[in-house]
Structure 1
Amino acid sequence: MPDSISQWLPLLNNSLWFRHLPPALQQSLLQAAQLRQLQSNQLLFPRGEQSADLFAVLQGALCVGTLDAEGREVLLTVAEPVTWFGEIALFDAQPRTHDVRAAGPTTLLCIPQAALQQLLAEQPHWWREFALLLCHKLRLAFNNAEDLSLLPAGPRLARRLLLIARGYGDARTTQQQIRLTQERLAQMLSLSRQTTNQLLRELEQQGVLRLQPGCIEIVDLPALEQAASH
């Protein structure tokens, strides 16, 4: 394993999916891995691109979304460390489903498509591990759709902040700071920026959050969990 990759191993082990992989698969992925650096607003890949590399966010953040009929960005989610993504195209060999762009300077771990295909051809039982990653994402998609349909705006916002802070269920720890603008959070929740700002200010006044430019800090995690459960 190259030294440039091994220094990221403690962070990668914060991903529950990666941590529970068979050791031989972990080593094979790391041996094939490459580091990618993106500048702020740089496109990683556009919707419709024919590629199947697998990625993990090591530093920074990525915006996953698309454009509406009027050419405006529609943000679906923000991927922060340590989010693994790109597995859909690995299974169906279809074009990428969304645009993925760096929210700021970002470091990625990239497992090239050719290396993945060779690994899985030699060890076909490892397909199950990638299927588990895909199933995790599918469960999240159903849960998010349910939240949009059933939850009031306040609990929906609190729940999304918790999801991001916990790596969408794949992190061993909860991060205190979420690098996300209010405008992007509003897009993810299908809320107006005014409503989002009002809800965040209320949580700040209650001592649950601390708002900073481009960043939301969780001050009282139990209180945020309570707000998400209402």
Structure 2
Amino acid sequence: MAGLGRRETFEKGERLLREGEHGSHVYLLLSGWYKVVARTEDDREALMAVRTGGDIVGELACFDALPRVATVMAAGPGVTRLIGRQEFNDFLAAHDTVARAVMRVVAGKLRWSTRRRQEFGSCPVEMRIARVLGELMRAYGRPGPAGTVIGVSLTQPELAALVGASEPSVHRVLRTLREERVLDTGYRRILVRDAQELSRIAGTGPDAPLVT
């Protein structure tokens, strides 16, 4: 698939896709980090997800020809392949293995969205943050001497949007996790020192608290 379409490069802040626009092409992300954002009911721009090399964006509009449901912007320099709808669909029709992989990607995004909605209504903020950080760590983490560096440039407001919590609540939870040596935070950087404890807080470890 990396040979399809045409090569396009982006710099920080440039938009690949815009929410509400009509368009049916997709982007295969080859390198860089990208933020998926959408407008809220009070017209704020909220971070919905992050994507990086190997991911695909824009596939929903390619399949159903409806307007884009979110904006995708580069978080830094990145390289992509812009693939037209017909070329993309023809390639999937001719390559069953790739088509199934794309379906798994779409299913994974839907599961992520469903989990977020469920957690927003039932889980405490600490658990939501631990779950999101755990997922980001597994998907984008880089092992280091002191732990795992989450290679996603996130501000605290963006993390708050991802977990559906207020900024003060996120600030308090991160401060507690730092004090307990579960993680360290710096400028747009998170280092997970104790992945096992983070998993327990998230409710996915062997001693995880029950959620009712």
TM-score by length of 2: 0.81
| Deviates further, 31-40 or 180-189 | 31-40
Match of 1:197 among 153, 171, 182: 171
Change (3 A) 1:81 1:124: closer
Q: Which amino acid counterpart does residue 61 of structure 1 have in structure 2? A: W
Match of 1:160 among 121, 132, 137: 132
* Displacement over 6 Å in runs of 4+: 171-174
Residue ranges of structure 2 left out of the alignment (5+ in a row): 204-208
Backbone CA RMSD of aligned residues: 2.5
| Aligned pairs (5 A) from 1:42-81 | 42-81=14-53
| Deviates further, 51-60 or 154-163 | 51-60
Change (3 A) 1:165 1:53: farther
Change (3 A) 1:215 1:57: farther
| Richer in helix (by share) | 1
How many residues were matched structurally?
Answer: 199
Change (3 A) 1:211 1:120: closer
Change (3 A) 1:80 1:118: closer
- The CA deviation at 1:126 is 5.7
- Give the secondary structure class of the aligned counterpart of 2:27: strand
- Give the secondary structure class of the aligned counterpart of 1:108: strand
Q: Distance in 2 between matches of 1:208 and 1:110?
A: 40
1:176 aligns with 2:126: no
Percent identity reads: 26
Residue of structure 2 in register with 1:223 after alignment: 197
- The CA deviation at 1:121 is 4.8
- Give the secondary structure class of the aligned counterpart of 1:62: strand
Residue ranges of structure 1 left out of the alignment (5+ in a row): 1-28
1:102 aligns with 2:74: yes
| Richer in strand (by share) | 2
